[in-house]
Amino acid sequence: MSTTVDGIRVVTPAGEIDHHTGDTLRQALDASSTPRPRVVVDLHQVTFIDSSGINIFIAAHRTLGEADGWLRLAAPRESVMRTLNIVGVDTLIDCRETLHQALSN
Domain ranges of the chain: 2-30+37-103
Question: Which pTM does this prediction carry?
Answer: 0.94
In this prediction, residue 105 carries a pLDDT of 76
- In the DSSP assignment, the letter for residue 80 is H
pLDDT confidence of residue 17: 97
Does residue 1 register a pLDDT over 80?
A: no
Q: How far is CA 69 from CA 2, 44, 61, 64, 102, in A?
A: 17, 23, 9, 5, 14
DSSP 8-state assignment for residue 98: S
Residue 40: pLDDT band (50, 70, 90) is very high
Q: How far apart are CA 69 and CA 50, in angstroms?
A: 25
User: Does 2-30+37-103 carry CATH code 3.40.50.720?
Assistant: no
